[in-house]
């Protein structure tokens, strides 16, 4: 039994269901890290939006990937390159976070984490990944206490030491980190984590690139390694999650047949359609 099933009640009902992390909410289909992106992702069965958590100068937890507003908002020059840690909540939320994606989404703003957790509260079927970029863990915990949504949260951090600290502070919370790069780099990173028995990790994500010169999708990480990785993770109660950058029905079917039930997608609507094709 995995840590997820032991500690996260949501997974006790249907352990064979397919789940996927909707990266930054719906990064390819809606303005990233906005309420409209999270709501879009929750529309699709098994989708769990992911958001990034940072802290403003006045101590408010907000949902923003970058350290500044430059890429995702219409903030003017005097604001766009200033780290949000040096701006107040009001200054961050003053600018539009939807219009640069599409004029159709004008009026969206960088949400506070409080606003996003309110979307979880009263909806036990919803869940959320929180990637901690710049946030005090205790302040984060107090907010989760306030909204009563601990059973709907998974934590992400690029530094496994942060995950260990999160599990020390909040025993039993699901945690995830990732491996990226070439197949050789991913395999070396996997063996390094295996020597620690995947300490602090309940989910391990691997980036899955495909050969560029193939019509049929063929992934560069071979199936034998993916099966080996699943078995090693299973021994410590952890779960493999794959992020295929190219996918279609047949390629997802092969991964599901290997026993993979967790994925990541930038486009939840597109991924859901491919998943439906994989199941036909």
pLDDT tens for the chain, 280 residues: list them: 344 544 555 555 466 789 999 999 999 999 999 999 999 999 999 999 999 999 999 999 999 999 999 999 999 999 999 999 999 999 999 999 999 999 999 999 999 999 999 999 999 999 999 999 999 999 999 999 999 999 999 999 999 899 999 999 999 999 999 999 999 999 999 999 999 999 999 999 999 999 887 678 899 999 999 999 999 999 999 999 999 999 999 999 999 999 999 999 999 999 999 999 999 8
Distance CA 143, CA 129 (A): 15
DSSP 8-class letter at 149: -
Measured distance CA(278)–CA(280) in Å, rounded = 6
Rounded to whole angstroms, how far apart are CA atoms 198 and 213?
35
Instruction: Give which of 191, 205, 263, 189 is closest to 238, Cα–Cα.
Output: 205
Decide: helix, strand or coil at residue 233: helix
Q: What 8-state DSSP symbol labels residue 273?
A: H
Sequence length of the chain is 280
pTM of the entire predicted model: 0.94
Q: Which helix (H) or strand (E) holds 119?
A: helix 113-120
Closest CA to 49 of 74, 21, 77: 21
Residue 245 three-state SS: coil
- Which two three-digit tokens encode residue 88? 């107040």
The upper half-sphere exposure of residue 50, i.e. CA atoms within 13 Å in the direction of its Cβ, equals 25
pLDDT score recorded for residue 15: 63
The confidence score (pLDDT) of residue 6 equals 45
The predicted structure's pLDDT at residue 115: 99
Distance CA 107, CA 256 (A): 39
75/95 Cα distance (integer angstroms)? 5
Pairwise CA distance, residues 247 & 262, whole Å: 14
Query: What is the model's pLDDT at position 254?
Result: 96
Tokens of 191: 């063996």
Note whether 268 and 17 are within 8 A (CB).
no
- Please tell me the predicted confidence (pLDDT) of residue 2: 45
pLDDT at residue 215 in the model: 73
Q: Which domains does the chain have, with CATH numbers?
A: 3-51+125-279 (3.20.20.190)
């Amino acid at each position: 039994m995995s840590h997820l099933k032991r500690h996260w009640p949501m997974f006790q009902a249907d352990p064979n269901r397919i789940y996927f992390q909707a990266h930054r909410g719906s990064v390819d289909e809606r303005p990233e890290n906005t309420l409209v992106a999270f709501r879009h992702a929750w529309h699709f069965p098994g989708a769990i939006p992911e958001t990034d958590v940072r802290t403003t100068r006045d101590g408010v937890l907000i949902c923003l990937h970058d350290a500044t507003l430059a890429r995702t908002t219409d903030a003017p020059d005097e604001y766009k390159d200033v780290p949000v840690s040096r701006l107040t909540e009001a200054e961050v939320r003053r600018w539009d976070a939807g219009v640069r994606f599409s004029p159709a989404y004008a009026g969206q703003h960088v949400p506070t984490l409080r606003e996003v957790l309110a979307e979880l509260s009263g909806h036990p079927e919803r869940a959320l990944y929180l990637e901690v970029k710049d946030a005090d863990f205790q302040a984060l915990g107090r907010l989760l206490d306030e909204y009563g949504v601990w059973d709907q949260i998974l934590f992400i951090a690029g530094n496994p030491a942060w995950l260990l600290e999160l599990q020390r502070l909040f025993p039993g919370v699901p945690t995830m980190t990732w491996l990226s790069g070439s197949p050789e780099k991913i395999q070396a990173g996997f063996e390094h984590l295996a020597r620690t028995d995947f300490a602090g990790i309940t989910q391990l994500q691997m980036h899955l690139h495909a050969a560029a010169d193939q019509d049929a999708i063929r992934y560069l990480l071979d199936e034998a390694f993916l099966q080996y990785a699943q078995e090693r993770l299973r021994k410590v109660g952890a779960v493999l999650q794959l992020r295929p950058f190219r996918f279609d029905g047949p390629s997802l079917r092969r991964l599901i047949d290997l026993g993979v039930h967790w994925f990541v997608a930038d486009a939840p609507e597109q991924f859901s359609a491919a998943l439906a094709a994989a199941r036909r």
